[in-house]
Amino acid sequence: MGDDRSWWWWDAGSDEPGTGWVEVATTGWPFGSGSLFWLIEASGGRYLAYGA
């Protein structure tokens, strides 16, 4: 399961109400992030941005 993706869910949390973060492990950069963005948006996430 998940062998067709180039990312794997690693960790997630919330710093304050209404915000949150997600960490993923990848096989390299760039990686296929379309399914990850869909998952976050389908769960109610908005204003997605890459960060460190």
Tokens 């399961």 -> residue: 1
C-alpha span between 23 and 7 (Å, rounded): 10
Contact 37, 5 (CB under 8 A): no
Q: What kind and span of H or E run contains 47?
A: none
Q: Among 11, 35, 15, which residue's Cα sits nearest to residue 25? A: 11
Tokens encoding 13: 């949390």
Q: Give the pTM.
A: 0.65
pLDDT digits (tens, 9 = 90+) for 1-52: 556 678 888 999 988 888 888 888 988 888 888 888 888 889 888 877 776 5
pLDDT digits (tens, 9 = 90+) for 5-16: 788 889 999 888
Q: What is the dihedral of CA 31, 37, 38, 40, to 10 degrees?
A: 130
